[in-house]
Amino acid sequence: MNETKERFGILVVDDHPVMRDGLRAVIEQESDMELAGEAADGREAIDQFRKLLPDVMLIDLQMPVMDGLQAITAIRAEFPDAIIIVLTTFPGDARVVRAFTLGATSYLLKTARRDEIIKAIRGALAGRHIVAPEVAQEIASHTGRERLTDREVVVLSLVAQGRSNRDIAEALNVTEDTVKARMKSIMAKLGAEDRTHAVMIAVKRGFLDSFP
């Protein structure tokens, strides 16, 4: 009877085929790892996770059909011990916090080197949390600052759509003075010079995923 060497199964989730191909090549070079499967969006990620029960999942955040954060939420709800590594282009501190809050194990950027990805996989399997240096620096640079409330994020998302204070007040069923007060608080928290600057900072930090 042939002796089989244990291999850890890795599920790769990314909507870009070239990225999936690159990760497959990285994984297949390791004697104790193998590509368990692939998915191109969050919905496929959930289906593939249920089917394959991988040891580790590498997942992007911005994808069609269902994004990475939604997929992480669903998978961790069904599989509380799932090991999930975010591999994305977004270093924003708010997005990172959301990912970890929802159950991500580690957070890497797509600029990570091959050895850094493997190190993160091994670390996650050993129970460690790995954060890309650039991401850690981004988080540290905002340490101590107040975070935007959910209501402030809603207001700012409407500002990003080009809505006036009056339009926002009507949409949220509040007074214009309330909208002005929230915008004043938002700009103070973000250190923004004006409304447009506030939106730009919020997008960069991950409070708003993108401009509408």
To the nearest 10°, report the CA torsion of 173, 177, 181, 187. Answer: 90
Instruction: Look at residues 138, 134, 170, 135 and name the one whose alpha carbon lies nearest to residue 155.
Output: 170
Q: Residue 79 contacts by C-beta under 8 Å, 6 or more apart in sequence?
A: 49, 53
User: Hey, what are 32's tokens?
Assistant: 């104790």
Per-residue confidence band for 42, with pLDDT thresholds at 50, 70 and 90 = very high
Domain 150-205 in the same topology as domain 8-141: no
DSSP tag of 164: -
Q: What is the DSSP string of 135-189?
A: HHHHHHHTTTSPPPPHHHHHHHHHHHTT--HHHHHHHHT--HHHHHHHHHHHHHH
Region 150-205: CATH code: 1.10.10.10
Residue whose entry in the numeric block shows the structure tokens 């600029």: 111
Contact (CB, 8 A) for 13 and 44: yes
Mean pLDDT computed over 38-53: 97
User: Hey, what are 148's tokens?
Assistant: 């935007």
Per-residue confidence band for 88, with pLDDT thresholds at 50, 70 and 90 = confident
Task: Please give the single-letter amino acid code of residue 113.
Answer: R
Separation of alpha carbons 147 and 157, rounded Å:
15
Spans of all domains in the chain: 8-141, 150-205
pLDDT of 211: 36
Mean pLDDT computed over 114-128: 91
Q: What is the DSSP string of 102-148?
A: HT-SEEEETT--HHHHHHHHHHHHTT---B-HHHHHHHHHTTTSPPP
- pLDDT tens by residue, 134-180: 776 666 555 556 677 888 888 888 888 888 999 899 989 999 999 89
Task: Please give the single-letter amino acid code of residue 24.
Answer: R
Separation of alpha carbons 210 and 212, rounded Å:
6
pTM passes above 0.85: no
Region 8-141: CATH code: 3.40.50.2300
